[in-house]
Amino acid sequence: MSEQPEILARIIEHKKNELTERKRHMPEETMREWAREAPASRGFESALRNAELAKRPGVIAEIKRASPSRGILREDFDPMQIAASYQMNGATCISVLTDGHFFKGSCAILELVRKACFLPILRKDFIIDNYQVHETRAVGADCLLLIVAALEDEKMAELNALAKELGLDVLIEVHDREELERALAMEPSLLGINNRNLHNFETALGTTLELLPEIPDSCHV
């Protein structure tokens, strides 16, 4: 694993502290129990593959209130209205940012989105701990994001296995060739390519074009 970008390292450090507090207020065993009682998954991966079979674009529409680089993205933030609009306009799935400190999101927003539409939902956060996997299932998400740059291989494999055991789909995100090689070692079925360089925040669409030929057909990108 190469050195983490500075912004990602700061986010992960904050996430660790945040998790320590959350576990004090809500024990992991309680979160496990809630995860077991969660409603059936809506099928995130199957929705994307069905769209592909129907020769329709598989659109994952994002709900994000803010970002570290751009601040608040919209003041009139109404996640339920946004979700309903995405569904009405043909989105296949919805991605919800749940990080609170850096992106002004929350699991409560994800729960509102689930009430507002019937589309499968991706929880987009910095998942580094088993607690968060149970939490993802408990709040009604259908898929979680694992960011290769944020995880050691052993932990990534552990989180991936737990998510699948709980009935969650997993989207693995890579930024470069090294991360792609690490991701492919787990034989993922869903892969995301992030064209933004986390070291300088520059976006280069060529990253996708460079990595696509290395990805097997069995993996949905």
Asked whether residue 219 is assigned to any structural domain, the reply reads: no
Contact 62, 121 (CB under 8 A): no
Has residue 55 been placed in a domain? yes
Contact partners, residue 135, CB within 8 Å, separation at least 6 = 31, 35, 107
The model's pLDDT over 158-178, given as tens digits with 9 standing for 90+, comes to 999 999 999 999 999 999 999
Domain that includes residue 138, residue range? 6-214
pLDDT, tens digit (0-9, with 9 covering 90-100), for 11-30? 999 999 999 999 999 999 99
Predicted pLDDT at 97: 98
Task: Kindly report the backbone phi and psi dihedral angles of residue 110, in degrees, each rounded to the nearest multiple of 5, phi listed first.
Answer: -60, -40
Q: How far is CA 207 from CA 3, 74, 170, 174, 219, in A?
A: 19, 28, 21, 10, 17
- The reply to whether 144 falls in a domain is yes
Q: Tell whether the model's pLDDT for residue 47 goes beyond 70.
A: yes
pLDDT value, residue 201? 65
pTM of the model: 0.94
- Domain assignment present for 104: yes
Please indicate, yes or no, if residue 83 is contained in any of the structural domains. Answer: yes
Q: How far apart are CA 6 and CA 120, in angstroms?
A: 32
Alpha helices in the chain (DSSP H): 6-25, 28-36, 44-53, 79-88, 107-116, 130-138, 153-165, 177-184, 206-211
Ramachandran bin of 27, using left for φ above 0, alpha for ψ from -120 to 50, beta for the remaining angles: beta
Q: Is residue 221 part of a domain?
A: no
Give domain status of residue 51, yes or no.
Answer: yes
Burial class (CB in 10 A: 0-12, 13-18, 19+), 6: exposed
Whether 58 is in a domain gets the answer: yes
Does pLDDT of 2 surpass 70? no
Q: What pLDDT, in 10s, does the model give residues 186-195?
A: 999 999 999 9
- How would residue 199 be classed by pLDDT, with cut points 50, 70 and 90? low
CATH number at residue 181: 3.20.20.70
Number of domains in the chain: 1
Phi, psi of 90 (to 5 degrees): 95, 15
The sign one gets for the Cα dihedral 84, 117, 62, 190 is negative
Tell me what the mean pLDDT of segment 182-208 comes to.
86
The DSSP letter of residue 23 is H
More reliable by pLDDT, 101 or 70:
101
